[in-house]
Amino acid sequence: MRVGLPRRVFAVALAAAICVPLSAPAQARARHDPAAGADGHFAVTWAASADRQSAGPAERSYRLVVRTSVGGTALRIRLTNAFGDHPVTFASAYAGLQRQGAELVRGSNRRLTFGGRPSVTVPAGETVLSDPLTGRLAAQSNLVVSLHVTGAQGPTSGHGMAMQTSYATTGDRAAEEAAVPWTDTMTAWYWLDAVSVRTSTAVSSVVTLGDSITDGWASSTDQNRRWPDYLSRRLQAATGSPVRGVANAGISGNKVLADGAGEAALHRFDSDVLSHPGVSTVVVYEGINDIKAHTGVTVDDLTAGYRQLAERAHAAGRCVVGATVTAYKGWPEYDAAGEAVRQGVNDWIRHSGVFDAVVDFDRITRSPYDPQALLPFFDSGDHIHPNDKGMQAMADAVDLAALRCDR
């Protein structure tokens, strides 16, 4: 179980044309304690839950494209070797803005440092944060983190289903802004698992803890149409909402109770939810993989897991929103026994009072003519994963006021 992994800190100053430098006093405060001060704090703006991936070749550069949610200053990234068996060295690291494909906005690519050094070696099982630097990053930006990796052996740590095209090449090309050398494409994120920015203390983030539906499977690649993406755009457009950031902690195939496709939600809750800065609220939306696995999981088993997650969130001062489990009739593993568990679990989510609020994804996405099945208009075709329209409907169903947390 991965709990309480070591953390360090990073950030990047982008080009003057797209960034607003901090004032000198603010720079001094940031160097002294980047997370302290009544004028601001760090909040996560992007995240992707890491898991054990296949071995990655050494002497290779990766250009990873991610979408920010909340904007702010003093950008920093988090690199993880949580699932590695050997140390990994990041010989150089840069962050810039995407122009198109692997090409960056000219002049935006900036070197990242770690404890003042341009490279860092991360031991197996640990993570590292880069140094925060001056500069402002806008909300809803396509941020590009370029890493040159050396000495990689054995399994890597990363996120296998990104629904986003990233790039790789040989040699150290992290500093380059042109697309020419980046000939290899991939739809995974390696080593990078979080980005945070400094923002007002009145601003916070929400973490969406889930499985493949939250991860975005069946949504359009490179279009940021996962339901957490739609939620992020709603939050940015809303006036007066203190919740502005969204961190996606979905893992395809993930379960609440048992490890398998990633660590179980119960086992990764600290690292994938509570470790992120500025988080006020978590939305818990998973359980279908526990149900359809035919392992004998009961309503009591699953609701006990939800109760543990809620208690841990509350103990850490976070609010927790429970989401009902959506329909899956037509999926190969569907059966009457699993459907009975799903209905019992949803009844508990709606009425137990354990959660601070509830979002009824089941009611929003099910067919009025066959409540055990997804509405065909929202069905991607596999009868379990919503399409883009279904993802948007889910995000629209979230009461933004319910994400506010006074704990």
Q: How confident is the model at residue 59 (pLDDT cuts 50, 70, 90)?
A: confident
Q: Per mean pLDDT, which range of 9-13, 94-98, 348-352 is the poorest?
A: 9-13
Calpha distance 145→137 (Å, rounded): 13
Buried b / exposed e over 254-293, threshold 16 CB at 10 Å, is bbbbbeebbbbbbbbbbbbbbbbbbbbbbbbbbbbbbbbb
Q: How confident is the model at residue 27 (pLDDT cuts 50, 70, 90)?
A: very low
Q: What is the pLDDT of residue 10?
A: 30
The H or E element that residue 315 is part of is helix 299-315
Q: How far is CA 288 from CA 165, 207, 311, 342, 376, in A?
A: 27, 19, 21, 8, 19
Q: How confident is the model at residue 38 (pLDDT cuts 50, 70, 90)?
A: low
pLDDT above 80 (res 16) = no
Provide mean pLDDT across the span 300-310. 98
Q: Kindly report, residue by residue over 153-206, the tens digit of the pLDDT.
A: 889 999 999 999 999 999 999 999 999 999 999 999 999 999 999 999 999 999
Q: What is the pLDDT of residue 35?
A: 43
- Report the topology of domain 24-195: Jelly Rolls (2.60.120)
Backbone angles phi, psi at 109, to 5 degrees: -75, 120
Provide mean pLDDT across the span 42-63. 91
pLDDT above 60 (res 23) = no
Q: What is the pLDDT of residue 286?
A: 98
pLDDT above 80 (res 17) = no
Chosen CATH of 202-403 out of 3.40.50.1110, 3.60.20.10, 3.40.50.720, 3.40.50.2300: 3.40.50.1110
Q: Kindly report, residue by residue over 329-342, the tens digit of the pLDDT.
A: 999 999 999 999 99
Strands 120-122, 51-55: parallel, antiparallel or unpaired by DSSP?
A: unpaired
Provide mean pLDDT across the span 42-58. 91
Buried b / exposed e over 71-84, threshold 16 CB at 10 Å, is bbbbbbbbbbbbbb
Q: Enumerate the CATH 2.60.120 domain ranges in the chain, comma separated.
A: 24-195
Q: What is the pLDDT of residue 262?
A: 94
pLDDT above 60 (res 14) = no
Q: How far is CA 171 from CA 57, 60, 120, 166, 375, in A?
A: 11, 5, 17, 16, 49
pLDDT above 90 (res 56) = no
pLDDT above 90 (res 132) = yes
Q: Kindly report, residue by residue over 210-234, the tens digit of the pLDDT.
A: 999 999 999 999 999 999 999 999 9
Give the angle 122-142-138 at the CA atoms, nearest 5°. Answer: 100
Q: What is the pLDDT of residue 18?
A: 35
| Mean pLDDT score across all residues of the chain | 90
Q: Enumerate the CATH 3.40.50.1110 domain ranges in the chain, comma separated.
A: 202-403
Q: How confident is the model at residue 322 (pLDDT cuts 50, 70, 90)?
A: very high
What percentage of the chain carries pLDDT values higher than 90? 86
Residue indicated by tokens 């392992």 = 295
Q: Helix (H, G, I), strand (E, B), or coil: what is residue 348? A: helix
Q: Rounded to two decimals, what is the model's pTM?
A: 0.90
Q: What is the pLDDT of residue 225?
A: 98
Provide mean pLDDT across the span 353-374. 98
Provide mean pLDDT across the span 289-314. 97
